[in-house]
Structure 1
Amino acid sequence: MTETASRARAPWHLWALALVSLIWFAGGANDYLQTKLGNREYLAMAAEGSGVSLEIMDGYVASFPLWATIAWALGVWGAVGGSLLLVLRSRFAVHAFIASLAGLAVTTAWTYASEASAPFVNTFQIVFSVLIWLSVIGMAYYSSRMTKAGVLR
């Protein structure tokens, strides 16, 4: 029996969730890239959306220690990788989402503990953080279930 023959058929929701999660997490990847590349127009829009000046935004971005930047990258790229691995029907999708959760945990802790983050912590930020957490936890759980069901190999 070949590997393809032994693999369970992919349900429609695998493709739907993989696509939706890839689009959702690509937003975080874009934020990461625009911030790390120092895109002034993007940072100005983010500052305006947060109700702060560009100078405050610059100070916040500059305050990120290396370990927080690494955790942010792990959170963002782990989620994007997990979504891509779902498209490829790889069982390693769950590992990527777990790595994303680890990065998200460190980044969230730093965000809410750092004084530099204070101007950005508001109801919208808290709700958005909860949505991100639920998304990554949900995708990790879903990937685990699809692996156990033999859909991901």
Structure 2
Amino acid sequence: MTDILRTQRTPWHLWLVGVLSLLWSGFGGYDFIQTTTRGEVYMRESGFGDDMIAYFNAMPAWMYLPWTLGVWGAVIGSLLLLARSRWAVHAFALSLLGAVVSLIYSKFINPPPALPPELAMMEWMPYVIALIAAFLLWYAWTMAKKGVLR
């Protein structure tokens, strides 16, 4: 009976990954809120020009679904990971789905205009976001499989 109730001890790296994930996804949540509520003002403050703002404003309404899943799935997944909940796996899976759909849209279906040289590294961000989302899903799945997540 005690074996059934026993769970794995929480490894130190769960707290590290959880906190870093929450910081990372928290910034994504901040960016989401600022972009959707302040719009052009926030984008200009972030260094985007007229062509990038026009591109964003022309984004089809259906793209808000993967964007929302990607951002808020990661925030919720991070919180669930820190709470040692097995539901973190599902939240990170939704986040990865959103990130991959957003990546496909922005890189293959409707690429954005070229960024100014000072923002050129941002062209890699959709790949970085998808890789981090994949890592977080793998990590949560591994922790759930080991019995660390309940």
Alignment of 1:49-60 (within 5 A): 52-53=48-49, 55-60=50-55
* Per-residue deviation, residues 81-137 of structure 1 (Å, max 9, x unmatched): 11111011011111111101111111111112215x123498513432222122111
Distance 1:41 1:126 in 2: 21
Distance 2:103 2:73 in 1: 15
State the shift of 1:17 in Å.
Answer: 0.5
Distance 2:4 2:24 in 1: 29
Q: How many residue pairs align between the two structures?
A: 147
Q: 2:102 aligns with which of 100, 107, 125?
A: 107
**Runs of 5+ in structure 2 lacking a partner?**
none
Q: 1:136 aligns with which of 126, 133, 142?
A: 133
State the shift of 1:147 in Å.
Answer: 0.4
**Runs of 5+ in structure 1 lacking a partner?**
none
Distance 1:57 1:82 in 2: 30
Alignment of 1:66-105 (within 5 A): 66-105=61-100
* Per-residue deviation, residues 35-89 of structure 1 (Å, max 9, x unmatched): 100254421122x2xxx52x33431221111110111010111111111110110
**Cα distance change on mapping 1:148 and 1:38 into 2, 3 Å:** same
Choose 117-126 or 27-36, whichever is displaced more.
117-126
Distance 1:33 1:3 in 2: 45
Give the equivalent residue in structure 2 for 1:18.
18
Choose 137-146 or 5-14, whichever is displaced more.
5-14
Distance 1:139 1:2 in 2: 31
Identity %: 37
TM-score (norm 2): 0.86
Distance 2:99 2:43 in 1: 21
SS at 2:113 equivalent: helix
Distance 1:126 1:38 in 2: 23
Runs ≥4 residues deviating over 3 A? 1-5, 120-123
**Cα distance change on mapping 1:36 and 1:114 into 2, 3 Å:** same
Distance 1:119 1:126 in 2: 9
CA RMSD, 1 decimal: 2.3
